[in-house]
Chain A
């Protein structure tokens, strides 16, 4: 077993220091909309908004870029949040009946990434409290908290309970004021006999403080009774004998009126007059959507305006039968009545309005509605109440995200044009109002460069996001649906002119208005975007989708009506015996269609069979695109609108690939087996039942359980991959490179493709006017050859372990990745080293390997799966800059594995550098969605609607850095807050930057370790660098060169002897 004893070198302190300067892992910020929000609060003084989630997170938002996150110890749903206005404190109520106090706490000044930060503040839990049960009463439900109320004085927290009692807690100590508790009995005693009728008043449904008279609170009980209670004198001021089940209460700002909403869908206005008699009747009572039974009005707000009638806002109350399933919120003022119709449930809402006591009116300026899937803000000052674009909390998942792509350092020109295109789109939809929630100040320096995040969606749209800062802001939305003929637009077109006015004339009741952009229903799943590639210099965009559509788009500032050219590429070539059983291709629109400014489609390449596109590559400088599906790959010259190459990668035995996405072969087999088992089982148990006696039933149950367990154990078959594994032909990656494929002296354009079964095809391309290779020679020889692009199969590599090829990239003579198209020719980056031999880095799911070019002999390798038992999922070549030396940087290979950890390798040595745990291994969609930036950051989906941003670089990270002016006794003004955050984890980045691992406050403790986990092999000296090593791979060379003639001959023979790909590992 000598071979297993790796030569372990003592860790080189020099290298360790450099590593520390280069690499550091942190999760910095969450972009998007919190998953499953459950509570909302607003601090009108600090202008901060807080959202609680079902996972127990509390997120505070202010002006764009101002964000704080805290996480409760238990992942219990946050039911309510209340701010202590102006104090930077908030109280949260959890589902487990505990009350927690949070605080923005300053920490001593520290050095952060080389920059000094003063008064760093983190959001942390300072105290928690849970109400004790009443002595002698077992049931805890009586003390279950239903509502919380913070008095304006901020020193008292009123707690309404299920049992109808109201408790008072001192703040900020969170201690129960024993003598103050108001139990229901006390209230019942003062009730008139006829109202009492021996029944309980029910839980406390609402607590509201009098707007003018401090210390007076309105207590609403579920049965309908409302009590005005004076806290200081502990007396009932007034009783309002409501008969209808109560949902919520709200004061009018003068304190003369209050409004109650009820479970029957109605609301009542009550007058608070200074006389002694109890008010049995409300001033008015309305059921707005009656007369048929309506659903409850869950919450109601009454806001007065200087201009006239008050604005009434309430959620719910819809007619039960006809619109009971709608998620609605109504805004009503005089005759203006709008029913906002949302696509997801209303969690809570508030208005932004005047809070100064002097002001006579509320004058609401905006309505903020938290829905299950998005945040909607309505401008209440502009007539018509238009909705406002949100600068953050964007619902990334408005249609499900199917892929993503990140562009670093976007040229200013492209940025500007994108913003303009986006503005043109938004113009008619949104009001240009000022964002109402603007607390705190973003102190982060303006981003040095603009970053774009592109997300592809199931509905065929590509969304462009500004990912330069903390707030992920939507810039522009591109829809590819209009390239095709879809069901919806075929019926829309004739309707447009005539029918619309009619529809509007016809008075619809309730007056619905669709608001929000969350739309989980896709018109046609075939429109879904699978791959995106953008050339930031030429503004060419390549988008490929589920039905084999590949669209080349170009940026244009003018609206254009044109037909999109369509080309069909048959990837099956002459293979026979295959039938595609999947979906049909999308019908391209044949008539000219209008395309708004922005990216406009130029060419549509349709792959046949229309299987989902699995890989694309774009080389705008050569005007070439390449695309791959489960059947093969193609090369297309979009300038000349001509297909250059189509290659089928199907294995002859691979029939499954032809079944399409709706394949039932596997599941059928499984289900058959299961149903047989079920039959067998039922027979057995049926027999038993006939003779069963009551006593044997337990045994029977046990036996059934045992049988179940016996059936259940998870087994894994240990078998090497065989050539005829299903879907072996899926093209996993494509790559263009200007390198040496034919021989060591002539470089030229090449195309590389890797498949699921570990095959790599390398084509030498002849692109007119490019390369020093034979292209130029041939240009002289034959004029016809010089005009169009040609592709010649150069090499075919079969990786012996047959694992899917995840990525291919060519390294130049200095072992640096080749620059992107145009970068070299326009002097935007250092020209690649063409004088020294190139190499190609092929990453499969199991191994990383560097081969020399043009001979394709293995130089270095790292067998990740054999060593660690994990498989490579995502790979990226990343530049890491040093924190210590300004000009020092290293190219590093970053690998995300199926275990959710990040492995960093040096190139071309492929030596493990560091390893970090990043994503939970169970989070398959998170791992699948991960995308890396060029400078060592990355994104992955932590929920359908949220991207977690992380950084592997010690230098480049984007994190919240903001200040909030706090008026708290203990604190003086302006403290800088800096809050790196994660989903459920708060990371003390400062500590990390200093190379320390500091214990975080317990409330924010992180399950993940801050320190880089060094891979078990990271310090092992894996000596695999042997240049002359006989390689595993079967490299077939199709380009005859003198020195490889013998090799070729042998290969040709092999070709004849056997069909390609029966190598058995």
Chain B
């Protein structure tokens, strides 16, 4: 499962937003009451709702109010569902302001400190100190601090799943079943297919049969960003339906018809990446591979023993399984998504411009981890960086390191 850096404030906020707006506009006057907390200190102040100013202004305002002018801090706020959500750019700042009812609770953490977990129900869970997420974060955090990378790596929960490798246990090693989650993003799926000839081993020897192949990946598209599909990969199935004997146009139509939840089974052109595949096979758990790919961060890779791969049943893992169970009803979950895209686009832009500090390393590290198999395939790059002879996992980590620097 692969995550790309689209921070968490997702449809939960989106959908509730409109409702809140309705009520809050009615209920409150034009003032936002702010209650901010840093360590054990509380500050209360207010500003006008219709002129909240920019995020940077607000950031420095808080620094002055809490008298921590030199401290790098992370901002979070509690929405009315009790979710702790981050404020790190204009967009989510405005969202936070608009969600104030009229009280806006701000939680400030030092950047060096353990970062707050921004997630659904994160506040409640934290209070309870229970649940998978909590456990997991605790464990991973210790690992994280051990690594002493000082890396700012986003939690899986902060990201939206855009793709996954599924059914590893039932597919032959040479095949890969990739699921692309188109919904919610404004990114194009971003690939092209073509006709071609494929070699098949038949009882009569090797035969050339017509097949459908990926011909091109669009830069910045969903398909490319997952790193799971490559040019010249042969398409074997579309959402479980064999494409043998189907024309290019038929396959195109099938893919477009399934585009919101596209599952393609491919025979990758580059079979070297399947080394990884075998490793996961030994663990006998398809999920472990998923977690490897997805959490992607240096967390689990620190421990070299394969056992650790399979031990934590991670939250992300359970998400995947839950999803695949629901796949039959692939339409059901789409209504919620329907109103997001415009927002994301603008968010991404602001991310790049104003908040490079925070978000960009996150995005890039993860992209690195996404393209992990490719990375392993070419030890060249890590070798260039003077880290040759390391284990696969090591080179992964170094990769992450290099990128952030």
A residues with a Cβ closer than 8 A to B are: 1-4, 713-721, 800-801, 803, 846-847, 863, 865-871, 898-899, 921, 1029-1032, 1034, 1053-1054, 1057-1058, 1062-1065
A738 to B89, CA, bound (A): 54
Known contacts: A866-B254, A869-B253. The answer to whether A718 contacts B192 by CB under 8 A is yes
B355 sits at the interface (CB 8 A): no
Q: Is the CB of A1062 within 8 A of B341?
A: yes
Q: Which of A921, A1053, A1058, A1065 contacts B259 (CB 8 A)?
A: A1065
Q: Is the CB of B193 within 8 A of A866?
A: no
26 contacts between A and B (CB under 8 A): A1-B240, A3-B327, A713-B195, A713-B215, A714-B248, A716-B248, A716-B251, A716-B252, A717-B192, A717-B252, A719-B259, A720-B182, A865-B256, A866-B254, A866-B257, A867-B254, A869-B251, A870-B250, A1029-B329, A1029-B332, A1032-B335, A1034-B338, A1057-B18, A1058-B339, A1064-B186, A1065-B259
B376 sits at the interface (CB 8 A): no
Q: Is the CB of A801 within 8 A of B257?
A: yes
Q: Is the CB of B327 within 8 A of A716?
A: no
Q: Which of A4, A721, A846, A1034 contacts B240 (CB 8 A)?
A: A4
- Interface flags, B79-116, vs A, CB<8A=1, else 0: 00000000000000000000000000000000000000
Q: Point out the residues of chain B lying under 8 angstroms from A4, CB to CB.
A: 239-241
Q: Output the nearest chain B residue to A866 by Cβ-Cβ distance.
A: B257
A690 to B240, CA, bound (A): 55
Q: Told that A717-B192, A801-B257 touch, could you supply 16 new A-B pairs with CB distance under 8 A?
A: A3-B327, A4-B240, A4-B241, A716-B194, A718-B191, A718-B193, A846-B257, A866-B239, A869-B250, A921-B247, A1029-B332, A1031-B331, A1054-B339, A1062-B342, A1063-B338, A1064-B183
A1050 to B251, CA, bound (A): 38
Q: Output the nearest chain A residue to B255 by Cβ-Cβ distance.
A: A718
A1057 to B17, CA, bound (A): 10
State which residues 184-224 of B face A: CB under 8 Å. 186, 188-195, 215-216
- Interface flags, B331-357, vs A, CB<8A=1, else 0: 110110111011000000000000000
B residues with a Cβ closer than 8 A to A are: 18-19, 22, 166-167, 170, 177, 182-183, 186, 188-195, 215-216, 238-241, 243, 246-260, 262, 324-325, 327-329, 331-332, 334-335, 337-339, 341-342
Known contacts: A4-B241, A800-B334, A871-B253. The answer to whether A715 contacts B194 by CB under 8 A is yes
Q: Point out the residues of chain B lying under 8 angstroms from A868, CB to CB.
A: 250, 254
Q: Is the CB of A715 within 8 A of B216?
A: yes
Q: Which of B19, B170, B194, B260 contacts A720 (CB 8 A)?
A: B260
Q: Output the nearest chain A residue to B241 by Cβ-Cβ distance.
A: A867
Residue in B189, B254, B256, B334 with the greatest tally of chain A CB atoms within 10 Å: B256
Residue in A717, A803, A870, A1031 with the greatest tally of chain B CB atoms within 10 Å: A717
A1062 to B186, CA, bound (A): 11
Query: Chain A at the B interface: mostly helix, strand, loop or mixed?
Result: loop
A84 → chain B, closest Cβ, in Å? 46
Q: Is the CB of B192 within 8 A of A715?
A: yes
Q: Is the CB of B256 within 8 A of A718?
A: yes
Q: Point out the residues of chain A lying under 8 angstroms from B258, CB to CB.
A: 866
A517 → chain B, closest Cβ, in Å? 39
Q: Point out the residues of chain A lying under 8 angstroms from B22, CB to CB.
A: 1053
Q: Point out the residues of chain B lying under 8 angstroms from A870, CB to CB.
A: 250, 253
A2 → chain B, closest Cβ, in Å? 8
Q: Point out the residues of chain A lying under 8 angstroms from B329, CB to CB.
A: 1029-1030
Q: Point out the residues of chain B lying under 8 angstroms from A1058, CB to CB.
A: 339, 342
A490 to B254, CA, bound (A): 54
Q: Point out the residues of chain A lying under 8 angstroms from B339, CB to CB.
A: 1054, 1057-1058, 1062
Query: Chain B at the A interface: mostly helix, strand, loop or mixed?
Result: mixed
Q: Point out the residues of chain B lying under 8 angstroms from A921, CB to CB.
A: 247
Pairs A-B, 3 closest by C-beta atoms: A4-B240, A869-B250, A1032-B331
A1029 to B182, CA, bound (A): 22
Q: Output the nearest chain A residue to B240 by Cβ-Cβ distance.
A: A4
A4 to B325, CA, bound (A): 11
A846 to B239, CA, bound (A): 15
Q: Is the CB of A713 within 8 A of B194?
A: yes
Q: Is the CB of A719 within 8 A of B215?
A: no
B307 → chain A, closest Cβ, in Å? 28
A899 to B251, CA, bound (A): 12
Known contacts: A1032-B331, A1057-B18, A1062-B339. The answer to whether A716 contacts B192 by CB under 8 A is yes
Q: Is the CB of A715 within 8 A of B256?
A: no
A1058 to B22, CA, bound (A): 15
Q: Which of A718, A803, A863 contacts B189 (CB 8 A)?
A: A718
Q: Which of A721, A867, A1030, A1053 contacts B332 (CB 8 A)?
A: A1030
Q: Point out the residues of chain A lying under 8 angstroms from B195, CB to CB.
A: 713-714
Q: Is the CB of B253 within 8 A of A718?
A: no
A1034 to B334, CA, bound (A): 10
Q: Output the nearest chain B residue to A715 by Cβ-Cβ distance.
A: B192
A278 → chain B, closest Cβ, in Å? 68
Q: Is the CB of A720 within 8 A of B189?
A: yes
Residue in A714, A715, A800 with the greatest tally of chain B CB atoms within 10 Å: A715
A646 to B22, CA, bound (A): 33
Q: Output the nearest chain B residue to A713 by Cβ-Cβ distance.
A: B194
A1030 to B336, CA, bound (A): 12
Residue in B19, B252, B324 with the greatest tally of chain A CB atoms within 10 Å: B252
Residue in B241, B252, B257 with the greatest tally of chain A CB atoms within 10 Å: B257
Q: Point out the residues of chain B lying under 8 angstroms from A1063, CB to CB.
A: 338
B229 → chain A, closest Cβ, in Å? 10
Q: Point out the residues of chain A lying under 8 angstroms from B194, CB to CB.
A: 713-716
Q: Output the nearest chain B residue to A1049 by Cβ-Cβ distance.
A: B22
Q: Output the nearest chain A residue to B326 by Cβ-Cβ distance.
A: A3
Q: Output the nearest chain A residue to B243 by Cβ-Cβ distance.
A: A869
Q: Output the nearest chain B residue to A1056 by Cβ-Cβ distance.
A: B18
Q: Point out the residues of chain A lying under 8 angstroms from B262, CB to CB.
A: 718
A300 → chain B, closest Cβ, in Å? 53
A1003 → chain B, closest Cβ, in Å? 30
Q: Point out the residues of chain A lying under 8 angstroms from B327, CB to CB.
A: 3
Q: Point out the residues of chain B lying under 8 angstroms from A863, CB to CB.
A: 257
A1 to B259, CA, bound (A): 17
Q: Is the CB of B215 within 8 A of A718?
A: no
Known contacts: A1-B167, A715-B194. The answer to whether A720 contacts B259 by CB under 8 A is yes
Q: Is the CB of A1065 within 8 A of B192?
A: no
A720 to B19, CA, bound (A): 29
A1062 → chain B, closest Cβ, in Å? 7
Residue in B253, B259, B338 with the greatest tally of chain A CB atoms within 10 Å: B253
Q: Point out the residues of chain A lying under 8 angstroms from B188, CB to CB.
A: 719
Q: Is the CB of A716 within 8 A of B257?
A: no
Known contacts: A715-B216, A720-B182. The answer to whether A869 contacts B240 by CB under 8 A is no
B106 → chain A, closest Cβ, in Å? 26
Q: Point out the residues of chain A lying under 8 angstroms from B243, CB to CB.
A: 869
B190 → chain A, closest Cβ, in Å? 8
Q: Point out the residues of chain B lying under 8 angstroms from A721, CB to CB.
A: 256
A652 → chain B, closest Cβ, in Å? 13
Q: Point out the residues of chain A lying under 8 angstroms from B166, CB to CB.
A: 1
A55 → chain B, closest Cβ, in Å? 25
A3 to B19, CA, bound (A): 35
A1030 to B328, CA, bound (A): 12
A865 to B257, CA, bound (A): 6
Q: Is the CB of A1065 within 8 A of B254?
A: no
A870 to B241, CA, bound (A): 13
A716 to B243, CA, bound (A): 15
Q: Is the CB of A719 within 8 A of B256?
A: yes
Known contacts: A713-B215, A718-B189, A1034-B335. The answer to whether A1 contacts B170 by CB under 8 A is yes
Residue in A1, A721, A801, A871 with the greatest tally of chain B CB atoms within 10 Å: A1
A361 to B324, CA, bound (A): 89
A4 to B254, CA, bound (A): 14
Q: Point out the residues of chain A lying under 8 angstroms from B250, CB to CB.
A: 868-870, 899
A1063 to B342, CA, bound (A): 10
A1034 to B19, CA, bound (A): 18
A329 to B260, CA, bound (A): 65
B261 → chain A, closest Cβ, in Å? 10
